[in-house]
Every structure is written in C-alpha cells, then in structure tokens.
Structure 1
Amino acid sequence: SLMPLPPFTQMAQPFAKVPPPLPGNVWLIFSFPESGLGFLTAEMFPRIPQEREPWDALWPQRVADRRARFVRTIFEKALAAVADCHDAGVAHGSISPASITGAPFDQRDPRRLIIQLQDFGFSTQLPGVEPKRRSELIRDDLYALAYAYLQLLFSSLTTSPNEDDGVFTPASGMIYDQETLRDIFERKFKMDFKGAGRDWAYQREEWEHVCKELDGPDDTQEGWKLLHAMINCRGAASRSKGG
C-alpha cells in the first residue's frame, strides 16, 4: 500500500504547476524561530502579555526600563534589516510595524529576538535606478522606519494607573497609529522633534516613559535627535536641491 504523503508534500501539491518567479524578482527566505510558534508582527507587540518578575512590584521602573529596552532592540534590529536590504539593492517601500516581524517577543531577554522584514509588494530594485531616485527611495524607507519606531514606542510605553499593585503597565487600548503621530509632530509642531514636540510630550504624564527613553540615560536627547534626523531626511534632501 502507498505510504501517506507527509504534510509538507500535501501542502506543496497545489503549487506544483505554478511557474517559478521570474528572474530579477525579490525572493524572501525566512528562518523559523526556535519556539516553533512562528513570527508575530511588531504591531502586535504592545498587546502581547508579558511574564512578570517577582520583584516587579517593588521596582516598577525596572518594568518600564525592560520594556523600553526591548522596543529599542526591535528598532535597532529592524534598522539593521533595512540596511541589509539597501546593501542588497532593494528599497522596501512600505515599512510599518506590520511589515516588521519578530520572535520571541519576550521582553525579559531581548538578546534572543530575531527580526525579519516582510511585505515587499511595493519594493524597488535599486540597481539601474538613477542616483537621485535611488536616494529618495532610501530616504523614504528611513522616514517610514522612524514612524514605525515612534508608533511602537508610544503604543508600548504609554501608561495608565494600576491601583492594584502599583506595577507599570501599558495603557490598555492606547495604540497610536502613524497618522495620529504625523498629525501631532508634523502638522502641529512642524517636524520639530528636538524642541517643541519634545516639550509638549513632556507635559503629558502618560508619556513619561516614552520621553525618558528618547532622552537616553544621560539626558542627551539622542533618541529625539535620531528621530528628528530620520523624519526630516526627505525635507533635507529637498532643501539641499533647492540651494
């Protein structure tokens, strides 16, 4: 009698007659996380329940620091992934928290985090693109990644009172979309992250941990400066062309 087909063969059968991708198409090869649970998008991270340490109730600031460090790691590894794409000659074209995937999303150990990019439907292959347009595409990716980071920061670190145990907890349901953040920082504060935007954010008690993370441990405001540079990079290119 015939042996039953293994699951992966059964899954592949419907695609047996599908022609292979054309030469020059972008191929994505994903590694599978050790947990076996698959990758989740960074957009999902703020709502993922996290394990607590026994001493969290005594030092709630450590919970905020741990969460901020993990969000920073997501951004750093996403930035490295975008740089790898550019080095490989591909501009992503639609970066958002939904196109950044990762595992495991355990904020206690950011060293284990693996970050990958998906959703390359609007990508552009850079070889052959004229230099001016190539620069614009790369700057567009940096601009989009900055807002992805900003969205992740505000959605993960905005707080609400927890009167039961005094432990830092993200505000339930406070998920900030990029359009809201653009309205705040671009239309209201004219993309001034280092000045008026930062000053206004500090007046909001629920954004205390966001502001502390962007200020950095030595209050050098490095996070604000980085966001300011990334989000203004497209305008900087326009100004330089205009003289």
Structure 2
Amino acid sequence: MGSADFDVGAGEDQPPVEAPRQQQPLSDLGPFGYETRASEADILAAVGDGGFSPEEFELLQELGTINIQQVASSVDLDDFPIPTSERSARTAVIAYTASFFSGMPFQDPVVTLVKEYLPGAKAVACNELQVLTHLAGMPEPSMKWQVAAGALAANPPIVRLLGYFLAGQTAGAQALLPGSAEPEDALWVVLKWEGLAPLALYPSAQQTSGIGLGRLFGGQDSSMRDRARMLRAITRGALQALTYCHEAGVVHGALGSGSVMLSTFDDRSYQRLVVKLDNFGFARRISVGGRSGRAAQQQSSRDALFPQPAPLATDDTPLALGQREDLRALAVVLLECMLSALALSGPSQLTSAESIQRLLGEVFVWGVEDFRQYCQDEPDWQAAVELLSQDDGAGWQLLQQLVGGGSSAAELAASRFCQL
C-alpha cells in the first residue's frame, strides 16, 4: 500500500493543494496508466490535444508538493499538525498558480492552477487527465480562456480540467531528481482556479463570529448554530460531489481532507457553500452496462452513457466495491473535520484522520455504536457528539450508513443530517 504526503509551499495567503492520502495497490482496479499498460503517447492521443503551449503561462507561486511513499504519511500545516512517517517520500507533483495569457484581444491574463508532474509520475498525470476528461470533458482551444475566466460554478462538483502541455522541468523539480537522472519534459496539467481551499484547513480558520483555530472564544449560541449548519453543508456537498463521480462510473480511490475543496470557510455563508473534489490521480473508471428501452431514451445523453449503479446492498461488482471504499473513506474525512472543528482544544493528533482511522477502523472494527460510546466519554468532543446526536441521532445514522456500504452517495446526500 502506497501513500502520498503533501508539503506546503511558499506563500501563506494562497490555499495549498493537497494530494490524495493513499495510493491504491496497482491491480486490475489501478490507475489507467498501469491498468491498460498503454504508453504515454497513446493515452494523450486518446485524451486529445491539450490546447496549451508553455509560452502562454507565467508561474506565480508554488503552492506545495505531493510526495508518494511506501508507508502511511500525512500533512504538516504549521498550526494544524498531522503525524508523519519517516521522510522516505519521492516528490511526484508540484502545484503552482500561474497566469494564462491567451494572446487574444480583450482577453486579460487569468489565474489558473497548474500541476507539474515529474517524469516518474507521468502515469498518475495521464490517469488524472483521463478521469477528468471522462467526468466533465475538456474545453475546445477557442473556449479555454472563457472557461478559465468564468465565475465559480457549483457544477461540475470537481476541479475543472482546462488542458495540458509538455514542457521542461522547473529548477525546483530538477533539484529533486537523482543526480544521475537525465532531464526530460514534464507533463503539466492545467486546471481552473476558483479560489477553493482544502477542507483540511477549515477547522483552523478564524471566524468573525468568535470561533477559530478549532476553539470557542465567545460561546455565542448563534456561532455554534452556524458552525453546525456549515458542517452539515460540507457533508451534503461532499456526498453530492461523490454522487457525481459514482454515477459516471468513477471511484475516487484516495479521498482525504485535502481532496475535498471548499469555496468558503465562513460559517455564516453555509447556504452558498460550494464543495468540489480534487486529486484524481489514483481514481478508477469502471465500466457499467448501459440501460435499454424507453427509460434510457428519456435520460440526458450523459445519464444514458453513465447510468446509475445497482443498489450497493446487493451489488458486488468492482464499481460497487470501490464506491463502498470511497464512502468509508469519506466517513473518516467527515469525522476528522467535525471533531477538529468542534473540539474545545482544537485540532490535534487525536482528531487527525490517522487517529480516527485507527480508532474506528481497527479498534472498533467500523462499529459506529462502540465508537459513539468512546466519543461520549471524551469531554473534549462533546460539541461534536451533540451535533451528531441531533434529530434523533441523524449524524450517527449517517456514519453507520457510510461505513456499512448499503446506501449510495446519492441516497446519503438526501439523509436527515444533510437537510439544512
């Protein structure tokens, strides 16, 4: 089992882009680059022309790096520490903001997100290109500036692929390669920059209402109500984004608090929150059979191509198995967020995903009721327990369904806990 470790780059005013926490084993469900054994050229030909040249971009700021290693690792975010393993990682990706110059009249430079995939990670880059193209397509060259400059939109609920290009490595990337390695072109993936920030940073964000750094300074009832509604909105948005992927036959495969992106950290703005998924380098697209007859004809062309999967409770196909793993991973992500955001002492090692995974998955063997009793005995987590216990325990019921594998993401997005 491999994993990924994200290190924050320079510049604290820009939200970092975090990598998937875990890489799946290279198997029949592995990334396209391994699954098909196709060459990079074949994959890029199937994706289509990237539509960009390196001369059209000016790098603005490095956001961070994605490191892949063979043991579990995590994230260091200054005042939001998460335990890390020994640094045996190899950097695979460097993320930047960059200005895109279209060269056309009346089209001012627009900020984009670009990922520089080092040579050893080209298979991951090719996989991400294929998955994102499958999920939302890639704009025609003549429309790339318009899409890049467009306002934030809730749909699609994934980072929007603009294109890609091949170019030489940056000096920083070359410095990370072994001394004997020959320089070669890197694959650069270009994404729409929408000002989103990873969920990992939300619990530490200062709130004007008095809640910040995971601590309650004021204790106003309205502040706690807004925080509870925000956490419910995050839950609903993440499930809706996952529904979009699952209904297209895509399993994310590496959900973590850095792969869930938020449009705002302001609890008072929970009603306009936009949630999107990022980091599809280890995602898998699994084919599902098409529908036939009148029902299929009545669907949109996209739904006809990517129909709803069978009910998870009775489905043992690779797609359903992958969906269950995504939902279980999301349970850990949501618990990490809720416990970190509501704990009196703020985010800590005890509220990290690694700790929750160990407790819920290993100690209690995914027994939500036993985990609930554990949380109730922890004084620091009482606010989170109260939130999950609202509406006759709607939050605990949702967690049980997430780890139980009997309900789809679409069904869970309509659950009582997700009603604001």
- TM-score, normalisation: structure 2: 0.44
Which ranges of structure 2 fall in alignment gaps of 5 or more residues?
Answer: 1-55, 58-98, 103-108, 115-125, 139-147, 154-192, 211-215, 290-314, 407-420
**Cα distance, 1:186–1:93 mapped onto 2, change above 3 Å:** closer
In structure 1, what is the Cα distance between the partners aligned to 2:130 and 2:284? 11
Q: Which amino acid aligns with 1:8?
A: F
Match of 2:402 in 1: 230
Match of 1:240 in 2: none
In structure 2, what is the Cα distance between the partners aligned to 1:64 and 1:174? 23
The structure 2 residue matched to 1:119, chosen from 279, 283, 286, is 279
Q: Which amino acid aligns with 2:101?
A: T
In structure 2, what is the Cα distance between the partners aligned to 1:37 and 1:79? 20
Match of 2:234 in 1: 74
In structure 1, what is the Cα distance between the partners aligned to 2:329 and 2:347? 25
How many residue pairs get aligned? The number is 207
In structure 2, what is the Cα distance between the partners aligned to 1:25 and 1:79? 19
Match of 1:208 in 2: 382
Which ranges of structure 1 fall in alignment gaps of 5 or more residues?
Answer: 16-20, 161-170, 235-243
Identity %: 24
In 1, are the aligned partners of 2:249 and 2:288 still within 8 Å (CA)? no
In 2, are the aligned partners of 1:33 and 1:39 still within 8 Å (CA)? no
In structure 1, what is the Cα distance between the partners aligned to 2:194 and 2:249? 31
The structure 2 residue matched to 1:49, chosen from 178, 203, 206, is 206
Of 179-188 and 56-65, the range deviating more from structure 2? 56-65
Find out whether 1:184 has 2:366 as its counterpart.
no
1:217-242 CA distances to partner (integer Å, 9 max, x unpaired)? x4x112112112211328xxxxxxxx
Task: Looking at secondary structure, tell me which structure has more strand per residue.
Answer: 2
In 2, are the aligned partners of 1:202 and 1:211 still within 8 Å (CA)? yes
Aligned-pair CA distance for 1:59: 5.5
Match of 1:163 in 2: none
Task: Looking at secondary structure, tell me which structure has more helix per residue.
Answer: 1
Aligned-pair CA distance for 1:128: 5.2
Match of 1:18 in 2: none
Aligned-pair CA distance for 1:191: 2.2
Query: Alignment RMSD, CA only?
Result: 3.3
In 2, are the aligned partners of 1:95 and 1:145 still within 8 Å (CA)? yes
The structure 2 residue matched to 1:96, chosen from 229, 253, 256, is 256
In 2, are the aligned partners of 1:33 and 1:104 still within 8 Å (CA)? no
**Higher RCO (CA-CA < 8 Å; seq separation 6+):** 1
